[in-house]
Structure 1
Amino acid sequence: MQMSEARRYQQLRAHLSYLKLNDAAEALNRVLDQSRTERMSLTAALERLLEIEVEATEARKRAARERFACLPEPWTLADFDFAAQPGVDEKLIRDLATLRFLDDASNVLFVGPPGVGKTMLSVALGRAAVDAGPRLLIIDELGYLPLPEDGASALFQVINQRYLKSSTILTTNVGIADWAGAFGDATVAAAMLDRLLHRAAVAGIDGPSYRLRGHRNQAENLRAGVNARVS
């Protein structure tokens, strides 16, 4: 009987490995011990074993999405200080954080001067999309540098291919009314805006520099630390 149980155990491990359920195979001993200690039913033991595999698979998929997304910082919406940036429509941002805008391929435009939090907010929404698994393109800091020759046309092709199919978040320091002059081609700029704004939430941010505030806080903390050591 012992040999039969041992053989059955080895066959079970072999089946799990053949099906590439490697995390379940790794956890098999632990789950079997728990099932005896906790007097679990066969169904409960199987559910726990497969739950381990599902969680490991989801973790691998999420890690792959994070690598592919190449987000510059691990920011989430919880990191953004709305009180420090009154120019941000908090209600709108929290609604965007539900990711409902992805359901109908709507776009998001963050428009405002440098340092007001446009990139941080777009990355936070991108992080939420990574967690949830949806597709989303983020075009950050459009307008800070002149587009190369034919750059406006190439950007239009990207926007046009995604139109009504997938969502895009775009951050820019160029006001919508100034796109024609900033991108050097009034016709292409108008065509891009037509597609971007057809279904879009536009968040104009006009407030103090969020980034400079952070630098000031760091400088003040550093000075406080130096003064404390001196005293």
Structure 2
Amino acid sequence: MNNFSYERLHNNLQYLKLNTVEELLENYLEIAARDNKTTMEVLDYLFEQEKKHREAVAIERKMKSAAFPVKKTLDEFDFEFQSSIDKKVIEDLATLRFVHNSENVVFLGPPGVGKSHLAIALGIEAVKAGISVYFTNTGNLIERLKTANREGILEKKLRDLMKYKVLIIDEIGYLPFDEEGAHCLFQLISRRYEKSSTILKSNKSYGEWGEIFKDRIIVVAVLDRILHHSTTINIKGESYRLKERKRQGLKTGNMYQ
């Protein structure tokens, strides 16, 4: 390859933003010549590496956009400790069929039993599949929606949230909503109904959701839309945090025996 062709090739790769190909090209051409690789094999390898790099960058960008408070995976979840959960149901959810069908997932149970872990883990599986995800705390979400409502831009805020194929709403039930907050959340749930998937996590049973919304008509309408196409995971096990405290206490006790 003469100098002119070499420079033009690199310039074209830069122009086309094939940065990974450009970075690997020189060394891989030497390897290809040594191993008698065909032109097709060289092109296949270089473009495959470019694709993988772009996919990794896209996933990293989506992970940042998702705003997960922590990273939790399904492999890290202790199904043996939390025996009330049917692992096969979680594995089915991990196929993301529920996302493609615009279905919802609801995790119910007391604090510390793994609801957030599973919700985040499913969100991460979705991100790895190239699906847009956003994680939000209920209190923060309600306040943002109420502010948008007062500023006359609630419709825009709802459209922004509709951009996410999966919306994870954490901690429903820790604090009750006022009338405006309940109305705003109803608008969001209604907008996503049968169009996108929502994963919700609550420490309250469905029968107690009236205490959260303080309006029986709205809570019935919200639950109707959430539960029409949904999977509910009701976790009845012991708190992981309590388990860890007990384990640490046992270790401490052993020190003095």
TM-score relative to the length of structure 2: 0.82
For the residue of structure 2 that corresponds to 1:71, the secondary structure is coil
Matched, 1:184 2:184: no
Matching of residues 146-161 of structure 1 within 5 Å: 146-161=176-191
Deviates more, 1:54-63 or 1:180-189: 180-189
Q: 1:125 aligns with which of 122, 125, 143?
A: 122
Please state how far the C-alpha of 1:181 moved relative to its aligned partner: 2.7
The equivalent of 2:55 in structure 1 is 58
In 2, Cα distance between the equivalents of 1:219 and 1:27? 54
Check conservation: 2:178, 2:213, Cα contact below 8 A: no
Please state how far the C-alpha of 1:79 moved relative to its aligned partner: 0.5
| Count of aligned pairs | 224
The equivalent of 1:142 in structure 2 is 172
In 2, Cα distance between the equivalents of 1:152 and 1:161? 14
Please state how far the C-alpha of 1:166 moved relative to its aligned partner: 0.5
Q: 1:86 aligns with which of 80, 83, 86?
A: 83
- For structure 1, the 5+ residue unaligned runs are none
For the residue of structure 2 that corresponds to 1:83, the secondary structure is coil
Runs of 4+ in 1 over 2 A off after TM superposition: 146-149, 214-221
- For structure 2, the 5+ residue unaligned runs are 132-164
Check conservation: 1:144, 1:173, Cα contact below 8 A: yes
Check conservation: 1:117, 1:211, Cα contact below 8 A: no
1:68–1:199 distance in 2 versus 1, CA, 3 Å: same
How well do the aligned residues superpose, as a CA RMSD in angstroms? 1.8
Matched, 1:75 2:76: no
Please state how far the C-alpha of 1:47 moved relative to its aligned partner: 1.1
In 2, Cα distance between the equivalents of 1:216 and 1:30? 56
1:116–1:28 distance in 2 versus 1, CA, 3 Å: same
TM-score relative to the length of structure 1: 0.91
The equivalent of 1:216 in structure 2 is 246
Over the matched positions of the two proteins, sequence identity in percent amounts to 42
1:208–1:24 distance in 2 versus 1, CA, 3 Å: same
